[in-house]
A and B are shown apart, each in its own frame.
Chain A
Amino acid sequence: MTQNLDLTDIQGNIVKAYGSSGFFKARYLFLRVDDGDKGRDFVGAITSKVTSANEKLKGDDALTVTTNMAFTYAGLQALELPTASLVGFPSDFVMGMSKRKDILGDDGPSDPKYWDKIWQEKVHIWISINGKTSDVVEERYQWILQQIKATGGVTLLRGHCGEDGNGNAVDDLPYQDASVLYEKDGVTPTAKEHFGYTDGIGDPVFDGQTNNAARVIGRGKLTRSGDWVPLATGEFILGHVDEAMEYPQTAPRPDLLSNNGTYMVYRKLHENVGTFNKFLDEQSKDYPGGKELLAAKFSGRWRDNGAPLVHTPDNESKAEWDKKFAAADDATQKRMLTDFTYNEDISGAKCPFSAHTRRINPRGSLEYGVKDAFHTPGALVDRRRILRRGLPYGKVKDETSDKGNHGIIFMALNADIKRQFEFVQQQWINYANDFKQGNDKEVLLGNHSSKDPGKVVLQVEPGSGKPPHFVNNIPRLVETRGGDYFFIPSIGALKLIAGGLVDPT
């Protein structure tokens, strides 16, 4: 049965990724609440422009700019939510991201002490602006500045690293800009990030999100019969039944505060582009398949078009896939990108166990080919999914250097930060027992240490007599530069918060 969602009540960023609807520019603001009364007035003012999931994003009369809002635990305290509501939030959210650094592996250069200055501030409110052009983003930004002035009681926090209007590095920007990357022509938008990979292809699909069954293939959950069905809504939105057949336990009281809301993980991830390019060049010297195949082995997808390794394990099969892909219509292309499982590659010979896509979503393959071992093939996967809602930030000026400000604003949405995001980060990215690979971390996102660099094994066909390939001396390729955990309330709940009307009794 398909779930009916109250789209007018759910914030728009939860149901759709704006970036794929033509909103190529974004700006993220962080504010501190100095006065509860005025702070709530400010929340009320912004709420009038908060984008719901019901708004039209594409077509003639569609929006050109969106606004969304979320709060840290300290923010909800500052807005004077009743204690009986506050105690209902889960401890991961209460602690916030920097205190979870040992769980997340934010050590060495990712340690919170090196984060952008803004993360030393008391971050209470997150506001995002997504726009189809920079101009509309700027316009909405100015409108928000007016609201800050009009209500008072909140301070826009400075301290983001980036560049000023003249391209000089600064560390006190009042906002974080983000943008899709463009082709060399500077006008054609891409879905790529700074290492050259295509991002966000395999985002999960949940019940009520889409009526298009084709979009569920490879993105929902795998059933015993081999079909794909949407994940339970409650994995991503509070107040709905989840994969354990119950309402998410992370919801605070009252229901009107939590229903149709969710949790967001915001992370600013710097990409060490110079190190990555050098590492890839060096490692591919001894790699028989060449540089692009090796880059694909790191991620699970080829850099140029996102072709999944499971169907394109070598240059020959890739060339054939490319031909088909080029000739296919849009729907078929999408299907070619997502319609596969790792059960087709249980040995890892095509897509290794260390590959990013395999680590973050093992696609029902944790039964390791043992027939009917678990209740469902996705039993260990379906409750570990996250919606990714990020965009790249910054520009790479020198492909041989790590310096500068460029990376990904990673935003993950889930009903339970600990069970979903933190689990994937800790157990599947920075550790590999579930993949029977000991402590070997994922190549791209793993918190490899310079003292003790990591290695991974690229599996080959079992019984072929060929040795597997070892990728050695993996450096830290991605560093955390900031972030926190946020609660994204429903629009109805925003109004309750703004009105001081939250009543958990």
Chain B
Amino acid sequence: MSNIAGKAYAMNVITPIPWYKVWLNRLIFWAALKIPNVLNGLLTLSLIHYARWVIIPRDKFPRLDPSQPKEDLNYSYMLFFSNFNGSWDQYVDSFTFAIPSGLDLFWKMNVKYPKSVPLTPFHNYIQHNQIDTAHYYNAYPMAASNDVKSAKNVKKALIDFNAASSNKSPDEFLEDYNKLLNQLQNDFGEMRPTPIVSLAAQAVKERVMEEQRQSH
């Protein structure tokens, strides 16, 4: 198992939510998408590739065959999936420091949610309800979400520049080239493998790689 793939960490959290509050939660999420300020903090943190909240009403766990026993649950459940850059601590800490009210908003309706400040009850709550990932795949282990966004910039600017300026006179070319570098000056960070954020996870990964080397 590993919750880490390169620079991304896979978090899965499942929490109960009273069935009669589900509609309220849906309303909150709907509002969050409509009011840009709510997501402002999340976007500025810029640690997430993709994340989602999924609410499973208590009678909606997939049942595919009459032979499968019907679930009989007191609560509905909220599943949270995130793909973020950095270690567990860094992520959970950053969220509680930066956007405590946003977190409270998203989990408000959940059973025994402790609020994001102080930190330790929130840490415990997430840890208590977290499920480890068995296989995690990341298409770009060396890139953080910042890098993916920055790369998009680079590609467009480079193509535009090449079309507009590559055949100009050398002096004009140089002037435009310098403008290009100026425009992209915060897009030149080198991408290398992630620093090791967890010694335990690193040990697991090395064993897996070793096994895969040996099997070939």
Contacts and interface: CB of A to CB of B under 8 A. Distances in A.
B190 A468 contact: no
B98 A433 contact: no
Interface stretch (A399-407, A424-432, A485-493): A424-432
A254 B99 CA distance: 33
Contact of B186 (A419, A455, A459, A463): A459
Given A244-B119, A433-B85, A437-B186, A380 B179 contact: no
Nearest to A249: B120
Interface in A340-399: 347-348, 353, 367-368, 370, 372-375, 379-380, 382-383
B86 A427 contact: yes
B179 A245 contact: no
Q: State the majority secondary structure of interface residues on B.
A: helix
B185 A431 contact: no
Contacts of A462: 182-183, 185
Given A103-B196, A464-B182, A467-B182, A368 B146 contact: no
Interface string B163-182: 00000000000010111011
Interface in A428-480: 430-433, 436-440, 454-455, 457, 459-460, 462-468, 470
B118 A105 contact: no
Interface string A320-356: 0000000000000000000000000001100001000
B179 to A, nearest CB: 5
Contacts of B118: 244-246
A362 B80 CA distance: 31
Contacts of A465: 175, 178-179, 182
Nearest to A382: B97
Nearest to A243: B97
Contacts of A249: 120
Interface in B107-165: 117-120, 144, 146-147, 150
Contacts, number: 132
B2 interface: no
A345 to B, nearest CB: 13
A463 B120 contact: no
Nearest to B145: A433
Contacts of B41: 373-375
Interface residues of A, number: 51
Contact of A383 (B7, B93, B191): B93
A181 B185 CA distance: 38
A418 interface: yes
B27 to A, nearest CB: 24
Nearest to B96: A244
A455 B97 contact: no
A382 B97 CA distance: 9
A384 to B, nearest CB: 9
A380 B92 CA distance: 11
Contacts of B96: 244
Nearest to B203: A102
B147 A438 contact: yes
A293 B191 CA distance: 28
Contacts of A276: none
A302 interface: no
Contacts of B117: 244-245
B144 A433 contact: yes
Given A367-B44, A379-B94, A438-B144, 18 more contacts: A99-B199, A103-B196, A103-B199, A105-B195, A244-B119, A246-B119, A370-B44, A374-B97, A375-B41, A427-B90, A433-B86, A438-B190, A439-B195, A440-B190, A462-B185, A464-B182, A467-B178, A467-B182
13 contacts: A102-B196, A244-B120, A379-B94, A380-B98, A419-B89, A426-B195, A430-B195, A433-B7, A433-B85, A438-B189, A439-B191, A465-B179, A467-B178
